[in-house]
Amino acid sequence: MASTERFFHCNIQDSGQSWCERNLASRSSMDQTMSVQHLSEAIIAIMTTIFVMRCIERISSHHWGKDDSTLSVAVVAIVCGTSLGFALSSHGLGRDAWDLPDSDVSMVRLLIYCAEFFYGVSITLIRLSALFFYLRIFPQTPFKFYVYAMITFDILFGVAYNAVFIFQCWPINSIWAASNVASDATCVDIHQLALSGSVINMLQDLMVVVLPTPILVKLSLPISSKIQVFFMFSLGML
């Protein structure tokens, strides 16, 4: 989408030159702002419905635990990040960036920056919720050691990654500011940061899914039942 390309590859003041001029100037205008709003509405509606149903079940059965509390905070982060989609669409996300004033381009950059932060926080919290769930249903001491190790790594990585993300540029406002500010900024390679973060996150997700496998294998169940149980755990983690 041309608007996204300008938001991430073009400075505001010189967006009609060099890379931007060669790649974007000839593209026709578009308006998909309503698609952004509808997507945000759908995600919030589905997420809220599933979460409320889970809360009702947990509270009525008196089984509320740390995993539920952690997941609650994660859902709040997801809803906050997704809700920014409404503000993003009102400032032009989904439209051709060439048709937007520089103030809207800056605001979209700022809102995307905030939404990505909420996403990073929610990913960490969702994994923590799964690990707290393991501690509740698998009381075996040796297994708990590995779970606590995963919890520690997840927290440390989450804090470190989000700190680097927040301060990816200095001064911070150069992330979304006009080019006269951005040109004087010192920034990390955001593409390398995103790539490394994605790889580590995927490895952590895989480890969380695989972690209970030794216990599931030892269950006194037929092989077909074990496969079904493992599939349910994997689906739940996804």
**CA Rg, the chain, in Å?**
22
Look at residue 2 in the predicted model and tell me its pLDDT.
41
pLDDT, residue 178, reads 60
Q: What are the tens digits of pLDDT across the range 220-233? A: 767 766 666 666 66
Q: How many helices (H) and strands (E) does the chain have?
A: 10, 2
d(CA 196, CA 187): 16
Cα separation, 131 vs 125, whole angstroms: 10
| SS3 state at 171 | coil
Report the predicted TM-score, pTM, of the whole model to 2 decimal places: 0.76
The pLDDT of residue 30 is 63
Identify which of 4, 9, 8, 14 has the alpha carbon closest to the alpha carbon of residue 180: 14
Tell me, what's the pLDDT at 52? 87
pLDDT in tens, 4-32: 444 544 544 444 444 455 555 555 556 66
Sign of the CA dihedral 238, 67, 51, 87?
negative
Tokens 């309503």 correspond to what residue? 34
pLDDT for the residue 19: 45
* Beta carbons within 10 angstroms of residue 51's beta carbon: 18
User: Does the N-terminal peptide bond of residue 171 adopt cis geometry, omega within 30 degrees of 0?
Assistant: yes
Write down the pLDDT at residue 123: 93
Tokens representing 156 are 């440390």
Stated length of the chain: 238
* pLDDT of 13: 44
What pLDDT score does 122 carry? 93
Q: Residue 36 and residue 34: Cα distance in Å, rounded?
A: 5
Q: Residue ranges of the chain with pLDDT lower than 50?
A: 1-6, 8-9, 11-19
Per-residue confidence (pLDDT) for residue 17, from 0 to 100: 45
Q: How many whole angstroms separate alpha carbon 198 and alpha carbon 191? A: 11
Which of 82, 159, 74, 75 lies closest to 116 in space, CA to CA?
Answer: 82
